[in-house]
Amino acid sequence: MSMNLTTTDQDLKTRLQNWLPKIVLAPSFGLVVFFVYGFIAFTLYLSFTNSRMLPSYEWVGWQNYERLFQIREWDIALNNLVIFAILYISICTVIGLILAVFLDQKIRGEGVLRPIFLYPMALSFIVTGTAWKWFLDPAIGIENTFHLWGWQSFSFDWIKDRDMAIYAIVIAAVWQSSGFVMAMFLAGLRGIDDELLKAAQIDGASNFNLYRRIILPQLRPAFLSAFVILGHLAIKSYDLVIALTGGGPGNATALPATFMYSYSFTRNQMGIGSASAVIMLLTISAIMVPYLYAELNEKKR
Amino acid sequence: MTVAAQENIVRTSQSVRVGIYLALIVFALFYLLPFGIMVINSVKPLIEITEGNMIALPREWTIDPWLSAWSTAQIGVEPTGLRPYFVNSIVMALPAVAISTALGAINGYILTKWQFRGATLIFGLLLFSCFIPFQIVLIPMARVLGVLNIAGTTYGLILVHVVYGLGFSTLFFRNFYAAFPNELVRAAQIDGAGFFRIFWRIMLPSSGPILAVCCIWQFTNIWNDFLFGASFASGSAAPMTVSLNNLVNSSTGVREYNVHFAGAILAAGPTLLVYIIAGRYFVRGLMAGSVKG
Amino acid sequence: MRSILSVKAAAVLATCISTSTASAQDVEVLHWWTSGGEAAALSVLREDLSESGYGWVDMPVAGGGGSDAMTVLRARVTAGNPPTAVQMLGFAIQDWAKEGALSNLNDLANEQNWSTVVPSALQAFSTYSANWVAAPVNVHSTNWVWANSKIMAELGIEQPTSWESFIAAMQAAKDAGYTALAHGGQAWQEATVFDSVAMGVGGPAFYKAAFIDLDSDALGGAQMVEAFERMETLRGFVDENFSGRDWNLATAMVINGEALFQIMGDWAKGEFVNAGQTAGEEFKCFRVPGSDGTVTFNSDQFAMFKVEGSAAEAQLAMASAVMSPEFQVAFNIVKGSVPARTDISDEEFDACGKLGMAQLAQAAASGNLFGSMAHGHANTPSIQNAMYDVITAHFNGEYDAATAAAELVTAVELAK
């Protein structure tokens, strides 16, 4: 299936050389099989037991899954994840792309701007959570500031509104990751062959067409990488919600990751928590496996 | 369209350029805002903060919150500040980054230059491991660390970070090495170079950009981790994030917000520094392969 | 090659890595008392122990009212390496005892007569099948109103003694442009208010039936609907920005004279004291009207985990130190709570502390001392959080009172 660099030489040394890569790869592979897939299997098993505070091995069949889908908060969490993931991924991609295209215009001060766009990715929400909470809080944050500046009718109270709070969380999430996406697109843009663009321009293509027809299609790998990274960040989002709203107002901003933690560790219903983890993993697989399959098969050409 | 003197291929008019600059500056302000709030409020006395205007500049400047956060703030029963935990985080993060990056590099090399049956599947499995929600591994991991007798130690934490960092580090290097010409490897082989020699002499020297990307990524993730740090190394081995959390999330006591902000900036210092200093290599490294697929 | 590298790295590291493994003569203590005052209170205990030659390995994990610490504890126990003593609340102690993870402190308890000095409602948590497994540190009572004296004087408000006069007082404050009720919109704070309100509506019998016995008729009945209706009334007296606010910021509103009342446990007192105010002067404390004579409590205890050899000796020394009157006084004055022993002089406590101690002793004697639902002392965490879900959803306007009562029944059923 792949080209092997040594097909002719068959002496002992070469045979050893052929085995060496596998031997060297084996520890990593073993670690991942055990610590990732083994633990996933363990979680799958727990989801069929009546585990509460600690794992137990008493089989209860599908009961945890039945309960899980009767719990309103799980519904909310799933809905929120859909809203959050779609908005987060698309807004980050759009902003990241815009910033990258703008920065690619031989901008003076790129060296200053780039780290400014990029730095939020370096910070965890344990660090920035309080600042964000204040910023979004109408009483002390942006709304209050505009009022002090004399714009009395300005209103921004999403974080306090149970229908809008999830969107406030999207803002903070976009703030954190869009600069990173910018970096990926910028790298993609810088990697495009100039000759190709010159040729198109000589053919009289407008700027808009240049981007639409030539540049964007070339960024496909960057789009895909961005999608993978943003997708996994969206599904794992936990710190963000805990820092900004703690899941509130009410349960309005629960996400599957917060739900799972809360049921497994706070509420001592590890069985249900594990069932929710399994559903999360299935969701991730449903999105990632086709993508990985397509990507990896394409690579082989 | 004016005839621009820029060498850029895509030509833009002067007014468009003004618009672009404006947009970039607005975005820059948006990105700076939360951090700005933190900095401003970390140099205010607490009384000015509780009065309520968070964006106002301090009337009275003070560095006491910073000193307190670093060396005298109450983290547990002892007023040690964040200082001792800073060392813990360094001692934990550096080896974890080094080991996971080293393994990722050699894995990427094998998966691209020494392909064998099933290599793609193995890569797929490694990659999918990036997506595991960390909460589910806590309990089984605790058991394994207990059996290995490294529970509650920095060694245990390093192991955990290496294991869950493998997926991304392998991804970075695999994509980078995929673009590396096979001919060079083949030529070296004909010259009699072996597996490790090729890696050491040919692959590694040209891996600068992707090493930067991988180290930045791993360092940020490992330094910022809270869940594993709290679960597997709390107490005197606790990393910075755990102690920062103890500082800012104390339950039923007075909250010194200015100290909290100063502590938060201190805790974020190393990752910020890494991004600012190595940021240019970051884009260069991404350029050099990892987003080219 | 890599293995050589990592061995080298390990060798270098070994010289500078610290581990949290406790040596035999140390107590390792997992807790979430990390704020200045709390930690200062705890270091009283540490000094006691060091005088007797025992070291203290500190393991603070703050956040989520102890829930992060409980996660860490699970990791530690699963790893086979439990801490010596763990700060714990209510049913968690029972759950761990059920797993057989806790030590038996009976010898010490008998010797020091714990069972006569600790109220039996507390003993229900500190003992498991008649064995002492934990040493109670304090009793927080949760059904307090904290009031700004200046606003009360200005508006001519007397200390309310009935629900109606309580509402009238808040209406007067609201009309005068004050925030009537300072409140932070977090699930546990809403539950804390609900706790007292439900007690006020239905009295001890109802409280016990609904929150402790989980009787469906009580959970979904008319009195529960009325309790939810009263929550709606209170909702009308909080300011617009309550959602997500930390409890201490709500307390600050009372301290600064922006708000008249706050319903909160006695830990709020620390905020007033820190702001230089004195109980009975700048601020007043009284029981939530309707819940007089009853006390809902939560109690911080040190659950003692099974440890071996000389560590067990250190553990007993710690348990003994925790129960000593000197520590109970020193700690609780700082913390705002009252001692878990009822045989201690109230001399050193302030007005609110004295009142709290007297009422605790009274309620304990008359059988009106109940574990707080909001603080995990009425039922298991899964039930407690299921109730949180409904109470907070209702307070934020998702349900009307009747639906909320019905939802409460369903949620509890699912969590059992």
DSSP A218-235: HTHHHHHHHHHHHHHHHH
Residue C17 has pLDDT above 80, yes or no: no
| 8 Å CB contact of B283 and A183 | yes
Alpha-carbon distance A225 to B45, whole Å? 45
Q: Which residues contact C128 (CB under 8 A, 6 or more apart)?
A: C93, C94, C97, C98, C102
Residue closest to C369 by CA, chosen among C282, C287, C276, C297: C297
Domain B83-290: give its CATH architecture: Orthogonal Bundle (1.10)
CB < 8 Å to C99, chain A:
53-54
Positive or negative CA dihedral for A84, A90, A94, A96?
Answer: positive
CB interface of B with C, residues 247-266, below 8 Å: 247-256
Domain C22-140+298-364 bears CATH identifier 3.40.190.10: yes
Residue A7 has pLDDT above 60, yes or no: no
What are the backbone angles phi and psi of residue C59, rounded to the nearest 5°? -140, 75
| 8 Å CB contact of C68 and B155 | no
**What Cα–Cα distance (Å) separates residue C228 from each residue in A249, C197, C346, C400?**
17, 9, 37, 8
Nearest CA in chain B to A256: B133
Alpha-carbon distance B291 to B132, whole Å? 22
Reported confidence tier of residue A60, pLDDT bands at 50, 70, 90: very high
**What Cα–Cα distance (Å) separates residue A57 from each residue in A42, A52, C30, C77?**
11, 11, 28, 17
Mean pLDDT of A19-48: 93
- Is the link from the previous residue into A21 a cis peptide, with omega within 30 of 0? no
For residue B60, the model assigns a pLDDT of 87
Lowest mean pLDDT among A126-140, A252-266, B197-211, C47-61: A126-140
Residue A23 has pLDDT above 60, yes or no: yes
- The reply to whether C22-140+298-364 and C142-297+366-415 are identical in fold is yes
Hey, what CATH topology would domain C142-297+366-415 get? D-Maltodextrin-Binding Protein; domain 2 (3.40.190)
Residue closest to A78 by CA, chosen among A220, A210, A204, A235: A235
Size of interface A-B (CB pairs under 8 A): 286
Query: Is B77 at the interface with chain C, CB within 8 A?
Result: yes
Query: Is A70 at the interface with chain B, CB within 8 A?
Result: no
Residue closest to C404 by CA, chosen among C212, C179, C163, C235: C235
| 8 Å CB contact of C81 and B152 | yes
- C interface with A, Cβ–Cβ below 8 Å: 2, 64, 67, 70-71, 74, 77-78, 95-96, 99, 185-187, 240-244, 380-382, 385-386, 389, 392-393, 395-398, 414-415
Residue A248 has pLDDT above 80, yes or no: no
For residue C12, the model assigns a pLDDT of 41
Cβ-based neighbour number of residue C172 at 10 Å? 18
| 8 Å CB contact of A140 and B287 | no
Alpha-carbon distance A225 to A181, whole Å? 9
For residue C34, the model assigns a pLDDT of 76
Query: Is B195 at the interface with chain C, CB within 8 A?
Result: no
Reported confidence tier of residue B140, pLDDT bands at 50, 70, 90: very high
Residue B1 has pLDDT above 50, yes or no: no
Burial of C81 (0-12, 13-18, 19+ CB in 10 A): buried
Q: Where in chain B is the domain with CATH 1.10.3720.10?
A: 83-290
Question: Which of A207-216, B94-103, B106-115, C375-384 holds the top average pLDDT?
Answer: B94-103
Q: Which residues pair with A59 in a beta bridge?
A: A49
The per-residue pLDDT for range C99-148, each reduced to its tens digit, is 899 999 999 999 999 999 999 999 999 999 999 999 999 999 999 999 99
For residue B245, the model assigns a pLDDT of 85
Domains for chain A: give ranges and CATH numbers: 67-300 (1.10.3720.10)
Question: Which of A36-40, A162-166, A294-298, C65-69 holds the top average pLDDT?
Answer: A36-40
Alpha-carbon distance A31 to A37, whole Å? 9
**What Cα–Cα distance (Å) separates residue A154 from each residue in A34, A150, B37?**
55, 9, 20
| 8 Å CB contact of C77 and A54 | yes
What are the backbone angles phi and psi of residue C204, rounded to the nearest 5°? -60, -40
ipTM of the complex: 0.85
Positive or negative CA dihedral for A215, A216, A218, A222?
Answer: positive
What are the backbone angles phi and psi of residue C111, rounded to the nearest 5°? -60, -40
Q: What is the DSSP string of A91-127?
A: HHHHHHHHHHHHHTTT-TTHHHHHHHHHGGGGS-HHH
CB contact at 8 A, C196 and C296: yes
Reported confidence tier of residue B253, pLDDT bands at 50, 70, 90: low
Mean pLDDT of B208-228: 90
Q: Are strands C300-304 and C134-136 parallel, antiparallel or unpaired?
A: antiparallel
**What Cα–Cα distance (Å) separates residue A246 from each residue in A122, A160, A241, C136, C246?**
22, 12, 6, 29, 11
pTM: 0.85
Q: Which two tokens stand for residue C268?
A: 């709020």
Size of interface B-C (CB pairs under 8 A): 169
Q: Per this entry, what is the length of chain B?
A: 293
Q: Which two tokens stand for residue C334?
A: 């700082």
User: What percent of chain C lies above the pLDDT cut of 70?
Assistant: 93
Domain spans of chain C, in order of start? 22-140+298-364, 142-297+366-415
